[in-house]
Structure 1
């Protein structure tokens, strides 16, 4: 199994990342929605939704939301939040969404907090853009929130230790063959665990080329969750806003 098929379904993944800033995330979503000016009651797909925090907040803002994630554990957790305008389903982002999972197309697809770059094969990256293009209405938005590869290279912290819920996580990072690799080791109840994360450092041009191949145009790049303009050397994020071209 691929690293993300095991690591994301463990309780330790959620322990390690439990302190992510919910206020920052909700502020980011609010700013993004205001920028995109998506009408209320529009359909938004939260692709790689994790534990559903963005899906729930988008629904609270007045949108019909479908949250999709490969992790069965996360989707099972999210089912308690469902209502008439909020649904969750297990889904591999390389596969088609429409009409297998959703009978209606969407007005926007959000792929947030570095949920891209997991796959080794370029054809798998392209499948993601193809499936998103197929599910979006003409003129719909695709927001791809990715890390800024240049900033990662400039600021890489090779080793750190984080203690969460009494567990000491040793995290080592390296860049190898245009991937950032994070080795995560820890001991719990006398047993040692070793996991890793591996994300491809896609360039701006590579992402743009994928998008254009499948009918998107890039309309904006933001450099952080406050929606500041993108700066190649100093921006921690590379938040791409694409729009699906009108089909003839």
Structure 2
């Protein structure tokens, strides 16, 4: 089983990251929508939606939203929030689940770069392109790899809900790798996260390859200009 299919579907993933800043996420969505000027009737796909925090907020703002994620447990949780204009589905981002259906597709919070085979990354972009309506917008929110590598913390211990997580990070074979070790109920666990060290040039090339036009690049959730040395994020706005 791929690491992401196993790790994202465990309760421990959600425990470790339970303190993610929802206010920051909502402010980002608000800034993004102001910039994009999407009409209230727009249909949005939240690709790799997790438990649906972005999807739910988008729906609260009045949009028709679909959330797709590979982890059944996350989708089961997200489905508790469904309504007529908010639906969640288990799906693989490499496959087009809803061809020619959306005005915008969002891939947020570094939910990309997991695959060892680069053909899989191309499949994701092709699937996104196919699921967008003409002139549709694709937003890719990735880490700024240069800053992440410069500030890499090799070892970190983090206690959450009584579980002590031992985190070890390294750069290897074009991946930022995080090993996660912990003990719960007298049992030892080990999981791993692997994210490719993709830079701006990579995203420009793969977007162009499938037919996207790159409209803008931002470096943080306030949508300031991207600076490779100082920006925490790499946010790309593509148009079909």
TM-score where L is the length of structure 2: 0.98
Q: Which residue of 1 aligns with 2:124?
A: 128
The equivalences for 1:1-248 within 5 A come to 1-99=1-99, 105-244=101-240
Over aligned residue pairs, what C-alpha RMSD do you find?
0.8
Structure 2, unmatched stretches of 5+, are none
SS in 2 for 1:39: coil
Distance 2:221 2:153 in 1: 21
- Superposition misfits of 4+ residues, deviation over 4 angstroms: none
Distance 1:241 1:77 in 2: 29
What's the CA shift for 1:98? 2.7
SS in 1 for 2:147: helix
Distance 1:163 1:41 in 2: 43
Equivalences, count: 240
1:49-107: CA deviation from partner (whole Å, max 9, x where unpaired): 000010000001110000000000011111111111000000000012234xxxx6100
Distance 1:184 1:82 in 2: 32
What's the CA shift for 1:178? 1.3
What's the CA shift for 1:236? 1.2
TM-score where L is the length of structure 1: 0.95
1:183-214: CA deviation from partner (whole Å, max 9, x where unpaired): 00001111110101000111211111110111
Structure 1, unmatched stretches of 5+, are none
Distance 2:188 2:222 in 1: 39
SS in 2 for 1:117: coil
What's the CA shift for 1:149? 1.1
What's the CA shift for 1:227? 1.3
Distance 1:153 1:137 in 2: 36
